[in-house]
Amino acid sequence: MKKKIILDTDIGSDIDDAITLTYLLCHPDCELLGVTTMTGEVVKRAMVADSIIKHFGRDIPVYPGVSNPILGPQRQPNCRQAEMLERWPHAKEYRPNYAIEFIREMVEKYPGEVTLLTVGPATNAGLLLATYPHVAEGLREVVQMMGYFTNNLGTGITSEWNCLCDPVAAAIVYQAKLRRHLSIGLDVTMKTVLPEDVVNRRFTVPALRPVYEYSIPWFKFKVRQGMIFHDPLAAACIFDDKFCTYKRGTVSVDLISNDAEFARTNFVEKVDGAHEIAIAVNADRYFEHFFAIVDAGM
């Protein structure tokens, strides 16, 4: 049976969101119910998502969600990849502020079947669960690319970008009584790096053509070379739990500490904890899987 998935994304900033959407559109076991967007220039982000969907000849709804965090500054106001939109057909009009209602409707229509894959700030998800608490029980699972749970990067990082962009929303999601809550954190996703020369060689297949073009402004912005597959790894873990190893425990979000610790995701290992986190990844196995899916995707 195909997995029913809603992708909640800040597509248009880092390129990995577009890769994630492409992967889901290619995956034979994915029934993509819809895409919701959040953070700055939310309609432009919807346009980017819709252009990729149209490249596949698919009819999948896209709904702009909430533009600003529940509390705190807007840390990513612009959709940089929108400068490439003129190259790809896309819808111009969208039903405003409907993302949260759409997710609720899908969960009520398919109780216990819907996976909410959220790969950006948790604004839509947090407001959804705060407004409609019953949705927590109706979801099959929430899978997030969020958090930083170990110190295995050795960089002094304490908070992860998606959480930092809306820590209050993240805290709401982590406090919700979900059936299953899986987090793939920065400390793990940073191990999935594809060098730029490999990107140039492997992203020539038809399914990845829009992503490759949308990566042009992204590569201009990025200092480091290569793509890090933060969000696509989280998507892949929905279909195969062997790419990563996990621990179970509880996660909380620090909302009161000073700047160095603010928005930190704190994990306490506990056998019967409500949360699962990834602690390691087999990157070679993951990339083999990814390209097997997208190379055959169109």
Give residue-wise pLDDT tens across range 153-179.
666 677 899 999 999 999 999 999 999
Structurally, at CATH architecture level, domain 3-295 sits in Alpha-Beta Complex (3.90)
Q: Judge whether residue 151 has pLDDT over 80.
A: no
For residue 72, the number of C-alpha atoms closer than 13 Å in the C-beta half-sphere is 20
Mean pLDDT computed over 238-265: 92
Judge whether 16 and 186 are in contact, CB under 8 Å: no
Give the global pTM.
Answer: 0.97
Give residue-wise pLDDT tens across range 95-126.
998 999 999 999 999 999 999 999 999 999 99
Give residue-wise pLDDT tens across range 6-22.
999 999 999 999 999 99
Tell me the residue type at 106: M
Which single residue is written with the structure tokens 């709904």? 63
Q: What's the pLDDT score for residue 186?
A: 95
